[in-house]
Amino acid sequence: MDKFTTLTGIAAPLPLINVDTDMIIPKQFLKTIKRSGLGVNLFDEMRYDSDGNEVEDFVLNKPAHRDAKILVSGDNFGCGSSREHAPWAIKDFGISCVIAPSFADIFFNNCFKNGILPIALPQEDVDKLMDDAERGSNAIITVDLESQTITGPDGGEIHFEVDAFKKHCLLNGLDDIGLTLEKVASIDVFEEKAAQARPWV
């Protein structure tokens, strides 16, 4: 997995609540058997018209935000389907950090498996970053995972929380399966005990 340490770049504002994974990557793009190549279809139905042309005023089509590395959005980001194609598409587009007041559970977990840092912040901090994001390339933002801080264009710092284990895995680009297999002895023991206690399973 890709490491995430620090990230400096343009943020794109998407001031909508309940951005669902169907919006992030519509189902017609779930037919792939690969993880890559989904970036061009990120937010497809908002980003392109029915003829496949770019919708000019959609944020990721604007010159100031085309190269965004950070996305700032509203409450309950990533709700809906469990499709990991959503973080794959976000990552493939070039965004590795999403900031919102709250996230849906499955999407939040999926981000960490793909080198994306989702940051939940109080509404007023998100509002502030949303303003910065509106200014596009005039407002570069830096996210530092080690120190858990976001530095805005005016030098102001915002602290954020992150689960210690997830932070460790992101910083070091650790593969979950590899980590779990180090504990395979515990799984073996559990399986034996469970087979005794609940043999019908």
Partner 1 sequence: MTGKTLYDKIWDAHVAHEAEDGTCLLYIDRHLVHEVTSPQAFEGLRMAGRKVRAPEKTIAVPDHNVPTTLDREEGIKNEESRIQVEALDTNAKEFGINYYPVDDIRQGIVHIVGPEQGWTLPGMTVVCGDSHTATHGAFGALAHGIGTSEVEHVLATQTLIQKKSKNMKVEITGKLSPGVTAKDITLAVIGKTGTAGGTGYVIEYCGEAIRDLSMEGRMTVCNMAIEGGARAGLIAPDETTFEYVKGRPHAPKGAQWEAALNWWKTLYTDEDAVFDKVVTLKGEDIAPVVTWGTSPEDVLPITGVVPSPEDFTGGKVDAARRSLEYMGLKPGTPLSEVAIDAVFIGSCTNGRIEDLRAAAEIVKGKKIAEGVRGMVVPGSGLVRAQAEEEGLAEIFEAAGFEWRLAGCSMCLAMNPDQLAPGERCASTSNRNFEGRQGFKGRTHLMSPAMAAAAAINGKLTDVREVM
Interface with partner 1 by CB under 8 A: which residues? 15-18, 20, 22-23, 26-28, 30-35, 45, 50, 74-76, 79-84, 87, 102-106, 109-110, 113-114, 163-165, 176-177, 180-181, 183-184, 186-187, 189-191, 194, 197-201
> What length does the chain have?
201
Cβ nearer to partner 1, comparing 31 with 155: 31
Cβ nearer to partner 1, comparing 146 with 200: 200
Q: 3-state DSSP call for residue 29? A: helix
Q: How far is the CB of 78 from partner 1 (least distance, A)?
A: 11
DSSP string, 114-174: TT-EEEE--HHHHHHHHHHHHTGGGS-EEEETTTTEEE-TTS-EEE----HHHHHHHHHT-
Cβ nearer to partner 1, comparing 109 with 151: 109
Separation in Å, CA 76 to CA 27, 108, 160:
20, 10, 17
Q: How far is the CB of 89 from partner 1 (least distance, A)?
A: 13
Of 178, 177, 140, 147, the residue nearest 162 (C-alpha): 147
Cβ nearer to partner 1, comparing 56 with 198: 198
Q: How far is the CB of 87 from partner 1 (least distance, A)?
A: 8
Q: How far is the CB of 17 from partner 1 (least distance, A)?
A: 4
Cβ nearer to partner 1, comparing 9 with 107: 107
Residues 6+ apart with CB under 8 A from 66: 60
Q: How far is the CB of 145 from partner 1 (least distance, A)?
A: 17
